[in-house]
Every structure is written in C-alpha cells, then in structure tokens.
Chain A
C-alpha cells in the first residue's frame, strides 16, 4: 500500500507519544538504579536504621513489608479465588447475584487507596478492634483498637481483592469448556469438576493473578498511613498487634518529614531501589509463570 504524507504524520505523532512514555520510564528507572545501587550493601539490607533514620540500614522496613504482604495474601487471596470460582463456575452471567458481585468488584477496584485507609481506621481499628477491647478487656488502654500490622494487612487484603478476582476469573475462563463437559458427562459433580479439572488447568493463570495482586498490595502506602505503619521502630514486629516499618512508608516519611532531605538522599534512593526490586521481581515472576502456563495449555 502507498503511504501518503498524512500517513507518516499520524504514525510519527503516535510513535512520538510512545517514545515520550518510554523515555520517562527509562529516566525514572535509570535515576533510581544510578543513585540507588551504590547505597546497597549487606549492612544496608540487614541493619536497623540509626536514630536519625538516615544512617544504618532498612532491615525492619524490609521485614515489615514482607510480613505484612504475607498476612495480606493469607487473608485476601482465598476469598478472591472463591469469588472467581463462584462467578465463573456456578453463577450464570445473567443471574442478579452475579451481576451485583461484578458491579461491586468493578467499583471496589476504583475506590481510591486513601479511602481504604479511612475504611481500615473506621472499620477495623475503631469498630472491630474497639469492640474486641470493650468485650474482652477492662483496661482503658486499647489492646486491639489501635493501628497494627494485622489491621493494615486486612485493609490491603480488601484493596487487592478485586485484582485477585478479575485475574483468577480470566484464568478460569481460559480452561476449555469441553473439559468441563467431559468431566460432567463422566458423572463428576460440579464441585469435583472444579476441583479436579478446572483448578489444576487454571493453576498457572491463578498464580499469575495472585502474584500481581500481591505486588500491587506490597507497594501501596496511602491505606496504611493510619492503619499500622510506623515512622521508626527499633524492633521487629513479632505480634499481630505490633506496628511495623514499611519500605514505601519509609520513603514517604523520609522524603517529606526529614529535617535534612539532602543528607537523606542516598538512603532514600537505596530504599526506593529495594522496593522497586521487590515489586518488579514479583511482576517478573508473574510474567514467567503466565508464559509457562500458556505454553502448557497449547495442544
């Protein structure tokens, strides 16, 4: 086909917009790796921060982030997978309940992260925690009704729920209908079909979705500002009721509240690099698993 000037113009303009985005991304990653990499050392990764928060390492923040992420996964992922199984395997797309669930999932995905923070504070800490204190403890000091790693994890579990649901449902849909029909025709119950046929075949896709959701939750800061993240903690959280340090929150606190931001620069870039490596390696893992499971599904 012949291309006229206008063809080249349109291709050029759209190509430039792609170039702008790729350039910004390259600058972002380049800056962070360039300034962050020299800071990374064994001490930086394994030591506690000094009292000024600038010297020393970031181990409590790494530990807190991983601990919180694990709790969040345990709480949120089973619920998300169950919802996806219900939507894809049990409910008809036309049933009212399935429609309602779908609307709720879509809207949940769009709720701003700071609103989840308010929800965690108003529901988990004040209502659930406060009620537990009122029921079981006479002590006027709050035991459960205060910010803690448990409430932060549960809040983030709700935040990541829609991601788990949507990606798991997609994974379940990639399992060919014929497999289900064959299983049912052989006399298996619907649950046996789900459990023995659909889930094993969708395993890779589900895992991909779970990892993507987890990586999203690991990097969220806004919801945990009031729900349990601590500016500075000299000890590691051992109890569900402890507060915790978090890589993302550490970056926020250090970058905006430090009396001497210039002195904090290297620590900041190092912390951002660690956070990025953590989320990217999760994303990369997801991409690899997805590629493998797609290859496995091909006949």
Chain B
C-alpha cells in the first residue's frame, strides 16, 4: 500500500516551497515503487498523534477562557450573589452609607462588602504606564545602541546578558524591589510610603526591557542595509540615517514590542504583589502612594475565599477581564509584526 500522509501535508505540501520552480511531490512520484514497502503501523499512529496534539494550544486557549468564565458568570443569575452585590456597583461609583458623595471602593471584607473594580484597574494602569515610561526609552535605546553603534564584540556579550535578565524569575525581581530598591528609593526620593507605584514600576521595568529590546533589536536589524546605504550615499549623517531612515522603517516592529511589553506588564503578578504596597486607593495622579493592581488582588485574595462566594465570582471576573485585555493586546502586537514583515519584504 502507499504511505498515508497527513491530510494537511498531502494537500499543501507543494505550497510550502512556493518560492521555488521545482517542487517535490514524493507521494505521487513514488507510488509505483512504494507498493513493495509497507509503512509500519506505529508511523501512522505517530502521525495521527502529532496532528491531535497540535491542537492542544487551541484547546488550551479555549479551556482557559471557558473555565475562568464558568466561575464568574453565575453572578448574573445567582440569587445569593444578587443579595450581596449589585452588578452595577462593580463598575460605577456609589454613595455608600457614611460617604457624602459617590465613590469607587474595593473593600471586600467591609460590611457591606464593596467590590468596585475601577480602583484596581486604575492601580494596574498606573503601575504599567509608569513602568512603560521607564522601559520604552531604555529598551529602544539599548536596541539602537546594539544595532547601530556597538562593536560586534559588545553585541555578542550584551545580547546574552539581556537574555539573562529575561530569565530571572519575577519573584526574584519582586524580592529585589521589596528588599533593596524600596529602601534605596525611600532614602533617595523621600517617599512617604516605602512601597509604592514607583518602586513596583522600577521592578516591572526590569521584566519589560528585555521584551522591548529583543523585538526592537530584531526590527532594526531587519531593515534592509540598502536603505541605510542609500541614505548615506545621499550625504546623510549617521544620526540622520538612524533617526529618519532606520527608526521609521522599524517602527511597526518597535510598536509591536511596546504593545507586547504593555501586555506583559499589566499581567505581571509577583512584582506588584510584593512591591506595590497593595492598598486599594483611588488616586489618579499621585504615583508615590501605594497601589493595588488587578493581578495582585487575585493572587492575594483568592486563597482566603470560599468557592462560589460573591467575592470568588468577582475575582474570577477580574481574571476574565485581564484575559480579554491581554488577548486584544497580543492580537494587535502580532498584526503590527506581520505588517512590518510585509512592508519590508515589499521594499527590498
């Protein structure tokens, strides 16, 4: 019998080398000879297994969404939940007893419990934006220096060192921010709170810089040398080439790095859990106060909550919202990278 190739492979094998004139079609060309050869059963079993296992990533994404949502959505019809919390109060300000104006409060152990998610998202955004303000210039700066100025020897050393930084577990960075950075920052800047948004953001920046650096450096390197040379031949200075030719051409890639870094920062848990102070204060502009992020709230509170409680459902809802936010950011980042690739292949 002839060999049984996987469906996808059978239909599309020639497309894989569409760039060449000569294509290889083994199963057609060989059908006469192969009749004397019997494919072992386990080869066919292995191929089927590979095809099934390849769907694991799709299954994982679907299962993650379904099983987090499954713990959250009963809030919309459960009587117990409605008795304790109004859905509206999760998102909008309310004038609670003892307050003279509508406020956003996250106070899950209060009486009555107040579950307003707005302060948590404000906290997440504050820390994330601050971390981006530090890491975007640093990451892009490093990438430009390595791609445009650094001698080969420096590049060969620095790239693995930054990979090393990316390999440090986030709990170690959180520990570093908590034990070392926090005291240093308080002594230097005189912060009123030892743990605050700034300290957490510095720790966070350490995880995002490698993300932005790697993608930005790739993007800068992938700008065709011909563009560079053409600009130099026209009499441009090196800094002009860097800022007006290379950087604009690499912009979609750099943007992708920034978007993916943002997604990483907003989802990061251990650093903010350990170094941000974790007070859920609704404070938009003061970055020296302690903040509580969405991720830290889930990590700190879920262990104390009984399964099926109102609090439990709200924490899983936070998970669903976080999942949705990072999902969108990822899609946007990927599209940006694809656009860059198309643009560059079209130009060269």
Is A165 a contact of B239 with CB atoms below 8 Å?
no
Binary contact track B17-46/A, C-beta < 8 Å → 1, others 0: 100000010100010011001010001101
Beta-carbon contacts under 8 Å, B145-197 to A: 145-146, 148-150, 158, 160-165, 167-176, 178-180
Q: B5 contacts A190, CB within 8 Å?
A: yes
The answer on a CB contact under 8 Å between B161 and A22 is: yes
By beta carbon, the residue of chain B nearest A84 is: B54
Most-contacted residue by chain B among A17, A114, A127 (CB, 10 A): A114
Closest to B56 in A: A79
Residues of A contacting B165 with CB < 8 Å? 21, 25
- B169 close to A10 (CB less than 8 A): no
Complex: A25 Cα to B51 Cα, angstroms: 43
Which segment of B107-115, B222-230, B297-305 sits at the interface?
B297-305
Question: Which residues of the other chain, A, contact B315 by a CB distance below 8 angstroms?
Answer: 118
Interface status of A13 (Cβ within 8 A of chain B): yes
Q: What residue in chain A is nearest B144 (Cβ atoms)?
A: A14
Chain B 45-68 residues near chain A, CB threshold 8 A: 46-47, 49-51, 53-58, 60-61, 63-64, 67-68
Stretch of A51-59, A131-139, A213-221, A232-240 contacting B (4+ beta carbons < 8 Å): A213-221
Residues of B within 8 A of A225 (CB): 299, 302-303
Q: Mark B239-259, 1 if CB is under 8 A from A, else 0.
A: 100110000000000000000
What residues of A have a CB within 8 angstroms of the CB of B267 in the complex? 110-115
User: Could you tell me if A111 and B323 are in contact, using CB atoms closer than 8 angstroms?
Assistant: yes
Residues 62-91 of A, flagged 1 when their CB comes within 8 A of B and 0 if not, give: 000000000000000011001101110111
Stretch in B76-84, B88-96, B327-335 with 4+ CB within 8 Å of A: B327-335
Chain B contacts for A121, CB-based, 8 A: 302
Give the size category of A's interface with B.
35 or more
Which residues in window 148-182 of A have CB below 8 A to B? 158, 161-162, 165, 177, 181
Q: Which residues of A contact B55 (CB under 8 A)?
A: 101
Describe B's contact surface by its main secondary structure.
Answer: helix
- Taking a contact as CB atoms under 8 Å apart, the answer to whether A90 and B51 are in contact is yes
In the bound complex, what is the Cα–Cα distance between A265 and B175 (angstroms)?
Answer: 11
How far is A1 from B56 in the complex, measured between Cα atoms in Å? 54
| Contact indicator A252/B237 (Cβ below 8 Å) | no
Instruction: Answer yes or no: A295 CB below 8 A from chain B CBs.
Output: no
Tell me whether A7 and B238 are in contact (CB under 8 A).
yes
A-B complex: 5 closest residue pairs judged by Cβ atoms: A112-B267, A219-B169, A92-B12, A17-B141, A86-B54
A residues with CB within 8 A of B: 1, 3-4, 6-7, 9-11, 13-18, 20-22, 24-25, 27-28, 31-32, 78-79, 82-83, 85-87, 89-95, 97-98, 100-101, 103-119, 121-123, 126-127, 158, 161-162, 165, 177, 181, 184-185, 187, 189-192, 195, 212, 215-216, 218-222, 225-226, 248-249, 251-252, 255-256, 265, 268-269, 272, 275-276, 279-280, 283, 287
21 contacts between A and B (CB under 8 A): A6-B237, A15-B149, A17-B137, A21-B142, A87-B54, A90-B9, A95-B12, A117-B299, A122-B67, A122-B316, A177-B17, A195-B43, A221-B171, A222-B269, A225-B302, A248-B171, A252-B171, A252-B175, A268-B179, A275-B171, A287-B160
Additional A-B contact list (17), CB under 8 Å, known A101-B57, A191-B47: A15-B145, A17-B138, A21-B162, A22-B161, A86-B51, A92-B12, A92-B15, A98-B8, A114-B267, A114-B299, A115-B267, A184-B24, A187-B30, A225-B299, A225-B303, A249-B171, A280-B164
